[in-house]
């Protein structure tokens, strides 16, 4: 396949490197003024990996016109703007793969919804989600991920083309549930960071159990399959999000408690706002999300936010 990857951050560059190893023709796009892209242009390296000469690098978004598949890996809050920037280009009939996790602040829109609302009707949309860290993939440590789409033939074609020894793909069966679950796990990651920073790591078991149940209720209320919360896109991603030293969201939560600044993207910071929007719209109580939001946006001390969770009315295990 001729593939254009939009986004030169840690995931965009890893995807580019990985798909090149499978023999596809790759072009990596980055914006003018991007320090990451400037470094790739000068050295073909970032702090994690080296891109081989077989990969084309460009500042020109026209590269999408020559691609069969366009993979997007940017911050979720920038997707609507990117969709608007793509409108002048000839992209009819192309397949777009969203390798990103999040929900739009203010609206709660899923990323596939944003893409569908902006792309020509002839375009195909899929998501590439699941656990894994760039540092581990680049050093040959394999993992399992999911590709999902409303079009079965699209996800089957992508999985056939993208599968290799490094990534075992599964066919997604619930686009809504997989997107919401993947986004929500970043909020759980921030909560896990709070626990680490407060010396309450033993509560991570409860966080994982109750967090999954909370997200399952929301997915069900939205019309998805609540079992998706227990799959690779949510619970299956907890090790990489709740425990790993490479997790941006966990690290952000820990440093927040410690009063320190985290200078990398922690998508859960934005997603928690969107999740509360969805919880209100679908009349679903989201206590963990509410506690994280209280700490991040309302000035509540994280320890108090956690204590308030512990002091809630008693519930049945499956409530």
What 3-state DSSP class applies to 46? coil
Q: Which one-letter DSSP state was computed for residue 262?
A: -
- Backbone angle region of 259, left / alpha / beta, with phi > 0 → left and psi within -120 to 50 → alpha: left
**How far apart are the two ends of the chain, measured CA to CA in Å?**
47
Look up 204 and say whether it is catalytic.
no
E strand residue ranges, 7-94 = 25-29, 56-58, 69-72
Task: State the helix-helix crossing angle for 175-198 and 302-310, rounded to 10 degrees.
Answer: 110
Report yes or no: 126 and 95 within 8 Å, Cβ to Cβ.
Answer: yes
Beta bridge partner(s), residue 6? 29, 72
CA distance 150 to 278: 21
- Backbone angle region of 262, left / alpha / beta, with phi > 0 → left and psi within -120 to 50 → alpha: beta
Question: Rounded to the nearest 10 degrees, how much is the dihedral formed by the CA atoms of 52, 126, 185, 248?
Answer: 20
Question: Rounded to the nearest 10 degrees, how much is the dihedral formed by the CA atoms of 49, 19, 244, 239?
Answer: -170
Among 94, 101, 155, 185, the one annotated catalytic:
185
CA distance 219 to 308: 24
- For residue 309, how far is the Cα from the chain centroid? 26
Q: SS3 letters for 133-167?
A: CHHHHHCCCCEEEEEEECCHHHHHHHHHHHCCCCE
User: Using CB atoms within 10 A of its CB, is residue 58 exposed (0-12), middle (13-18) or buried (19+)?
Assistant: middle
Residues assigned a catalytic role: 185
């Amino acid at each position: 396949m001729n593939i254009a990857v939009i986004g030169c951050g840690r995931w965009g560059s890893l995807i580019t490197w990985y798909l090149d190893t499978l023999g596809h023709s790759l072009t990596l796009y980055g914006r003018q003024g991007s320090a990451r892209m400037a470094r790739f242009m000068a050295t073909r390296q970032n702090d994690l990996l080296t891109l081989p000469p077989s990969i084309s690098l460009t500042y020109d978004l026209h590269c999408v016109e020559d691609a069969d598949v366009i993979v997007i890996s940017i911050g979720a809050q920038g997707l609507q703007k990117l969709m608007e920037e793509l409108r002048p280009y000839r992209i009819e009939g192309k397949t777009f793969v969203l390798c990103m996790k999040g929900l739009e602040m203010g609206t709660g829109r899923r990323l596939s919804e944003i893409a569908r609302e902006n792309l020509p009707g002839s375009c195909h949309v899929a998501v590439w989600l699941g656990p894994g860290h760039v540092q581990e993939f680049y050093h040959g440590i394999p993992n399992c991920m999911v590709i999902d789409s409303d079009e079965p033939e699209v996800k089957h074609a992508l999985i056939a083309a993208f599968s290799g020894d490094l990534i075992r793909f599964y066919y997604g069966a619930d686009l809504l549930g997989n997107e919401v679950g993947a986004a929500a796990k970043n909020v759980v990651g921030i909560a896990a960071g709070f626990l680490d920073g407060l010396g309450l790591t033993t509560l991570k078991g409860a966080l994982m159990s109750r967090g999954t149940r909370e997200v399952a209720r929301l997915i069900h209320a939205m019309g998805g399959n609540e079992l998706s919360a227990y799959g690779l896109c949510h619970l299956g991603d907890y090790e990489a999000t709740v425990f790993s030293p490479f997790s941006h969201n966990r690290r952000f939560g820990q440093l927040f408690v410690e009063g320190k600044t985290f200078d990398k993207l922690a998508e859960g910071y934005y997603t928690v706002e969107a999740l509360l929007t969805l919880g209100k719209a679908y009349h679903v109580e989201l206590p963990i999300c509410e506690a994280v939001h209280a700490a991040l946006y309302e000035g509540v001390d994280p320890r108090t936010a956690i204590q308030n969770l512990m002091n809630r009315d008693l519930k049945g295990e499956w409530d």
